[in-house]
A and B are shown apart, each in its own frame.
Chain A
Amino acid sequence: MINQSNKVINNSLNKLVNKTYQYGFSTNIEKDIIEKGLNEETIKLISSKKKEPQFLLKFRLKAYSKWKTMREPEWANLKFPAIDYQSIVYYSAPKSQKKLKDLSEVDSELLNTFEKLGISLNEQKRLANVAIDIVFDSVSIGTTFQQELSEYGIIFASISEAIQEYPQMIEKYIGSVVPIGDNYFSALNSAVFTDGSFCYIPENVKCPIDLSTYFRINDQTSGQFERTLIIADKNSQVNYLEGCTAPQYDTNQLHAAIVELIALENAVINYSTVQNWYAGNQYGKGGIYNFVTKRGLCIGINSKISWTQVETGSAITWKYPSCLLIGANAQGEFYSVALTKNFQQADTGTKMLHIGKFTKSRIISKGISAGNSKNSYRGLVQMTDKALNARNYSQCDSLLIGNCSNANTFPIISVQNSTTRIEHEASTSKIGEEQIFYFLQRGIILEKAIELMISGFCREVFKKLPLEFAAEADKLLSLKLEGTVG
C-alpha cells in the first residue's frame, strides 16, 4: 500500500519539481575571450587586460603556485566527475569595453538580457531601494546609484574599478579574511578572479539603501570567479543582497567565488543570497558547480555579521559562509534554506569560530530535499580557550519530499573552555502522502498544500530576508517545487 501511494505522490512531486528554469536563455553577444586553459600566461593576460597594479599580479601568481600544490577537497558528501581545469575559459567579457559614461551606454543586447531577468539598469525603472552592481561572465557591466551613495562617503563599485581607484584599500584587505591557501577553490579564485563587487561604508554611516550584486554566467565554457569585499567601518551598517542565474547548458560550468566581509567596532553587515544558478535537467545533466568561500571577520567589539542564504540552484553546492568572532561581544548569524531536487547535491553549512569573550552565534539551517537529490548540512562551532562566556545556538532541520531523496547533517562542536554554552537542536521530517491527503480531503489542492508546508518550514529564515527578497524567495521555492508532489 505504501509503495503504490508513494508512487502516486512521487509522480506528482516530479511534475511539480520539473518546472522549466525560466532564466535558462543565453545572450548572443560578441565576446572578448582568453583561450581556455590555465597557466601563468593566462593569469598575466587577465591582469594586463584589467590594467592591474603590480601587487595584484604578484598576489595572483602566488595563489596560482599555491593552487598547483593543492588537491581538490574530497571530504564533502558530493559525487561528481573530475573537473578539467584546462578546458575552462577563465576570461570572457562582452566586447566594446570602452569606459561607459552612464548605464544608458550599455550594449542594448545586455540591457535586454537583464530586463528579461527582471533587473532594470534603466535609471528611471531601477529598483527604488536597491543599488545594484551587475556582473556578466567575467566583468561588471554597471553599478547603479554610485553618485548618490558617494554623498555619504560610501564606495560601491565593481572590484575592478576599486582596484584602479582605491588600490591601497584593496591591497590592505584582499585575502585578509580568506587567505590565498585557505582551500583549493580559494587559491583558484585568488589566481583568476575577474570581477565582483567592492563596498566600503565609512564610520558612523548607516547605508541608506540596500546594496546588491547580480551575477550572470552567460558563456557555455567560461567559469565565473568573482570576488566580493565589503568593509564596514566603526558604527556603520549595511544590508547586502546577492542574486545569481545562468543559462541552461548540457555541460557543467564552474563557479568559484570568494566573499570577504570585515566588520569593525559596532559595525553590522547583513549579507543575503538568493542563489538560483541553473541546476541541471531532471536527469542530472548540466548545471553549475558552485564552490564558494564566504567568510566574515567580526574584528571590532560589538560587531555583527549575519549571513542569510536561500540556495535553490546549482548542480553542486559547496558553501560554508562563516564568521570569525574576534571582538568581544561580536555576533555571528547563519540562516539558511537549501532546496535540492532531481539530482542536485548540496553540501552547505557554516563555521562559527569564537575567539573573543562573550561572543555569540546563531545557526538556523533548513534543508529541503526532493527527487533523487542529496542535501547535507555541515557545520563547525568552535569555542577557543579565550572565548570566555561565549554562546551558540544551532538548529538544523531537514525536510524530505518523496522517498528517494537524502538528507544528512554533520555538525561538529569543539570546545576549549568551560564557560561557554552551546545548544544544538535537529529534526528530520517528511512531507508524506498522509499529510497531503489531509489537505486534499479538506479541499486544498496539492500545490497549495506544498507551498504552505514549505513556507511554514522556512519561515524563520525568510523573515530575515529583506522584504522584496522574502517575497521572491517564497515564490521561488513554490515555483521550484511545482510538480514535485502528488
Chain B
Amino acid sequence: MSSKNLLLEIKNLKVSIEENIILDELNLKVQKGEIHAIMGPNGSGKSTFSKVVAGHPAYSIISGDILLKGDSIIDLSAEERSHLGIFLAFQYPIEIPGVSNEDFLRLSYNAKQKFFNQPEVDPIEFLNIVFKKMELVKMPPQFLNRNVNEGFSGGEKKRNEILQMILLDSDICILDETDSGLDIDALKIISNGINNFMSKDKAIILITHYQRLLDYINPNYVHVMQNGKIIKTGSFELAKELEEKGYQWLTT
C-alpha cells in the first residue's frame, strides 16, 4: 500500500519510566481501513503502548518515533494528539465526580471544533448531535445528567468510551481491553458500535486477552507483544492458536 494510506507508524520505539525500559524497539504500521489486535501476557507493555501513543506525561521516549499521517507527534501534548485524531478507550475509565457527562462531552467536542477553527456548538445544538450518537450504543438520555463514569456499571463505562470515540470521530482508535468485564449482550452492543464506526479511512487497534471479541470484530492482523516488543504477527488464526496454547510456546 502507498504511504498516503499509512495512518500510524511506530518506529523503533524505546520508552522508559523511572529507568525501566517498558517498550523496547517496538515497530508497528497501521494503514487506513485496518483493524489490528494486540495480545500478550499481563505486563507485556500493551497498556503502556496505548498511553505512550496518546501522550501520557509520565513516560519518557528514549529513542524512536511515532508518526501520525507521516508527521512525528512525540513532541505534541496529549490534547493536541487527541484533536489530530488519536483516541484511547481506557481499560479502566476513571470516575470524575461533580462533572456531568453532558458538560464533559460538549467541552470535549467543542475543544476539537475550536482546534480546527470550526464554530463551537451551543448546549442545545449539542444535544441534537449527541442524542444521535447515543442511540448507536443504546444509551438512555438520562445518562447525560449523570457524572462522568460515576457509579457506572462496568458495561456502562465501556459503552461511554465507545460513545466518546464515535462523538469525536477520531481516525485511529486504540481500545484497551474494551471487552473485559462485559456480558454477552454488552459485548454485542459495543462490537456493533465499533463495526459501524469503522470505515475505510479509519483504523482500530484492539488490545485484548480474549479471542471472544475477535469473533465479533475481525482483525486484519494479530500481534503478540512480550517484554515491550512485538514478537509475532499473524492473522486471526494466531488468536485461536493463542487461546488454545497460551503464550508459553512462543518463547520456548
* Contact assessment for B115 and A443 in the assembled complex, using a CB-CB cutoff below 8 Å: yes
User: Could you say which of B55, B78, B90, B112 has the most chain A C-beta atoms within 10 Å of its C-beta?
Assistant: B78
Instruction: Judge if A486 is at the interface, Cβ distance under 8 Å.
Output: yes
Q: How far is the CA of A457 from the CA of B54 in the complex (A)?
A: 28
Closest CB-CB distance, B48 to chain A, in whole Å?
A: 9
Query: How many residue pairs at the A-B interface have CB separations less than 8 Å?
Result: 84
Which residues of chain B are within 8 angstroms of A486 by Cβ–Cβ distance?
A: 57
Q: How far is the CA of A429 from the CA of B115 in the complex (A)?
A: 32
* Contact assessment for B112 and A452 in the assembled complex, using a CB-CB cutoff below 8 Å: no
Which residues of chain A are within 8 angstroms of B98 by Cβ–Cβ distance?
A: 452-453, 455-457, 459
* Contact assessment for A8 and B57 in the assembled complex, using a CB-CB cutoff below 8 Å: yes
Which residues of chain A are within 8 angstroms of B168 by Cβ–Cβ distance?
A: 442-443
Binary interface profile of A, 343-354, with partner B (CB < 8 Å = 1, else 0)? 000000000000
* Contact assessment for A438 and B18 in the assembled complex, using a CB-CB cutoff below 8 Å: no
B residues 103-118 touching A (CB-CB < 8 Å): 103-104, 107-108, 111-112, 115
* Contact assessment for A457 and B94 in the assembled complex, using a CB-CB cutoff below 8 Å: no
Q: How far is the CA of A453 from the CA of B99 in the complex (A)?
A: 6
Binary interface profile of A, 186-211, with partner B (CB < 8 Å = 1, else 0)? 00000000000000000000000000
* Contact assessment for B18 and A440 in the assembled complex, using a CB-CB cutoff below 8 Å: no
Given A5-B56, A5-B57; A438-B99 close (CB under 8 Å):
no
- The one of B87, B107, B164 in contact with A448, judged by C-beta atoms closer than 8 angstroms, is B107
B residues 69-115 touching A (CB-CB < 8 Å): 77-79, 82-83, 87-88, 90, 93-94, 96-100, 103-104, 107-108, 111-112, 115
Closest CB-CB distance, B164 to chain A, in whole Å?
A: 6
Binary interface profile of A, 401-433, with partner B (CB < 8 Å = 1, else 0)? 000000000000000000000000000010011
- The one of A5, A443, A453 in contact with B58, judged by C-beta atoms closer than 8 angstroms, is A5
Closest CB-CB distance, A2 to chain B, in whole Å?
A: 8
* Contact assessment for A452 and B90 in the assembled complex, using a CB-CB cutoff below 8 Å: no
B residues 150-202 touching A (CB-CB < 8 Å): 164, 168
Binary interface profile of A, 449-466, with partner B (CB < 8 Å = 1, else 0)? 000110111010000000
Given A4-B17, A435-B96; A440-B79 close (CB under 8 Å):
yes
Q: How far is the CA of A433 from the CA of B58 in the complex (A)?
A: 9
Which residues of chain B are within 8 angstroms of A445 by Cβ–Cβ distance?
A: 79, 111
* Contact assessment for A8 and B58 in the assembled complex, using a CB-CB cutoff below 8 Å: yes
Closest CB-CB distance, A9 to chain B, in whole Å?
A: 8
Instruction: Judge if A444 is at the interface, Cβ distance under 8 Å.
Output: yes
Which residues of chain A are within 8 angstroms of B78 by Cβ–Cβ distance?
A: 437, 440-441
Q: How large is the interface on B (under 10, 10 to 19, 20 to 34, 35 or more residues)?
A: 20 to 34
Instruction: Judge if A84 is at the interface, Cβ distance under 8 Å.
Output: no
* Contact assessment for A440 and B77 in the assembled complex, using a CB-CB cutoff below 8 Å: yes
Which residues of chain A are within 8 angstroms of B115 by Cβ–Cβ distance?
A: 443
Q: How far is the CA of A353 from the CA of B23 in the complex (A)?
A: 61
Given A442-B164, A448-B107; A435-B82 close (CB under 8 Å):
no
Q: How far is the CA of A429 from the CA of B150 in the complex (A)?
A: 13
Q: How far is the CA of A445 from the CA of B108 in the complex (A)?
A: 9
Q: How far is the CA of A57 from the CA of B98 in the complex (A)?
A: 52
Q: How far is the CA of A4 from the CA of B59 in the complex (A)?
A: 8
Which residues of chain B are within 8 angstroms of A8 by Cβ–Cβ distance?
A: 57-58
Instruction: Judge if B147 is at the interface, Cβ distance under 8 Å.
Output: yes
Determine the residue in chain A with the shortest Cβ distance to B77: A440
* Contact assessment for B147 and A456 in the assembled complex, using a CB-CB cutoff below 8 Å: yes
Q: How far is the CA of A455 from the CA of B99 in the complex (A)?
A: 8
* Contact assessment for B111 and A440 in the assembled complex, using a CB-CB cutoff below 8 Å: no
Q: How far is the CA of A434 from the CA of B78 in the complex (A)?
A: 13
* Contact assessment for B96 and A438 in the assembled complex, using a CB-CB cutoff below 8 Å: yes
* Contact assessment for A442 and B57 in the assembled complex, using a CB-CB cutoff below 8 Å: no
Besides A440-B78, A441-B82, A443-B79, 14 more A-B contacts (Cβ < 8 Å) are A1-B17, A1-B58, A4-B17, A5-B56, A432-B94, A437-B51, A437-B57, A437-B78, A439-B96, A442-B111, A443-B82, A443-B83, A443-B111, A453-B96
| Chain A residues within CB distance 8 Å of chain B | 1, 3-5, 8-9, 429, 432-435, 437-445, 448, 452-453, 455-457, 459, 486
| Chain B residues within CB distance 8 Å of chain A | 17-18, 51, 54-58, 77-79, 82-83, 87-88, 90, 93-94, 96-100, 103-104, 107-108, 111-112, 115, 147, 164, 168
The 7 closest A-B pairs by CB, nearest first: A456-B98, A5-B58, A440-B78, A443-B82, A443-B111, A442-B108, A8-B57
Provide 30 A-B residue pairs closer than 8 Å at the C-beta atoms, listed in order of the A residue.
A1-B58, A4-B17, A4-B18, A8-B58, A435-B94, A435-B96, A437-B51, A437-B57, A438-B96, A440-B55, A440-B79, A441-B78, A441-B79, A441-B88, A442-B104, A442-B108, A442-B111, A442-B164, A443-B79, A443-B82, A443-B83, A443-B115, A443-B168, A444-B107, A444-B108, A453-B96, A456-B98, A456-B100, A459-B98, A486-B57
